[in-house]
Amino acid sequence: MKFLSARRRNPIVALFLLVAALGLTGISYSVVTTAKPAEAAMGSQTQVEEGKKLYLEGCSSCHGMDAEGTLNGPTLIGAGAAAVHFQVATGRMPLAAPGAQAVAKDPIYNVDEIAAMSAYIASLAPGPAIPTAEDLSYEGADQAKGGELFRINCAQCHQAAGGGGALTQGKYAPSLMSATPQEIYEAMVTGPQSMPVFSNETLPISEKQEITAYIMALQDAPSPGGLALGRLGPVVEGLFMWVAVFTALIAAAVWIGIKAR
């Protein structure tokens, strides 16, 4: 003990403590976040009751007292836990304002509350369940094959680089550059907003994992050519050329022209 107490005021200790605290937070965070979906899928009775209470407070004005749907919102019977988790955890629900489509924002409910609401909706009728950690594991999945699947199924709305694109009447396919594997999976099985459903019959879980692997690779991809310009393609490249490059060239021409006088 003497060894420790003699050195406890050493400046390096603060660094040790910081690293230890960060490590502990990180480990416990990862335990909490990976454990949750599995827990939520089970849905204990107290969770369902808690979820119903939250539902009545926050959702029933549009979706109806028994989730049967109203003129302002669709029925949630059969929507499944995955749909609830996707919509609420990405902050799309509850809706901030009526508009062309729900906009992603910081979630209003915490992890436990979302799990409770998911359990409640899942208890009404069977629907897509929250994916297990096994469903989401994309390690070893073939990202090249995922790329092909992505271009066949996703790129026409989400753009080949996953940057998102315009749909009709102000709707849009969002960027996938900050989507998590769970959100990607849930969006595919529930088909939120304008998106079609890619059920596990049409797109098996293994292929979903390949697509996820490709999107994750896109998110982490370095830009070998330099500044990426948002990877939005020729429109942004043209804008950059005119605004930055051509202005510089004209400035050089003016400079050389002035030198003459």
What does the binding site for other proteins look like in residue numbers (CB under 8 A)? 100, 142-145, 147-148, 151-152, 155-161, 163-170, 172-173, 214, 217-218, 221, 223-229, 231-242, 244-246, 248-250, 252-254, 256-261
Interatomic CA distance for residues 17 and 209, integer angstroms: 38
- In terms of CB distance, is 24 or 236 closer to other proteins? 236
- In terms of CB distance, is 18 or 100 closer to other proteins? 100
- In terms of CB distance, is 126 or 234 closer to other proteins? 234
- In terms of CB distance, is 7 or 151 closer to other proteins? 151
Interatomic CA distance for residues 71 and 164, integer angstroms: 29
- Give the nearest distance from C-beta 97 to other proteins in angstroms: 13
- In terms of CB distance, is 120 or 138 closer to other proteins? 138
- Give the nearest distance from C-beta 234 to other proteins in angstroms: 4
- Give the nearest distance from C-beta 229 to other proteins in angstroms: 6
- Give the nearest distance from C-beta 259 to other proteins in angstroms: 8
- In terms of CB distance, is 1 or 260 closer to other proteins? 260
- Give the nearest distance from C-beta 63 to other proteins in angstroms: 26
- Give the nearest distance from C-beta 43 to other proteins in angstroms: 37
> Quick check: 115 and 47 in contact, CB under 8 A?
yes
Interatomic CA distance for residues 115 and 36, integer angstroms: 8
- Tell whether omega for the bond before 94 is within 30 degrees of 0, i.e. cis: yes
DSSP per residue, 74-124:
---TTTHHHHHHHHHHTT-SS-SS-SSSPPP-S-SS-HHHHHHHHHHHHHH
Interatomic CA distance for residues 190 and 79, integer angstroms: 8
Return the CA Rg of the chain.
Answer: 25
In terms of C-beta density within 10 A (0-12 exposed, 13-18 middle, 19 or more buried), how is residue 32 classed? exposed
* 3-state SS, residue 252: helix
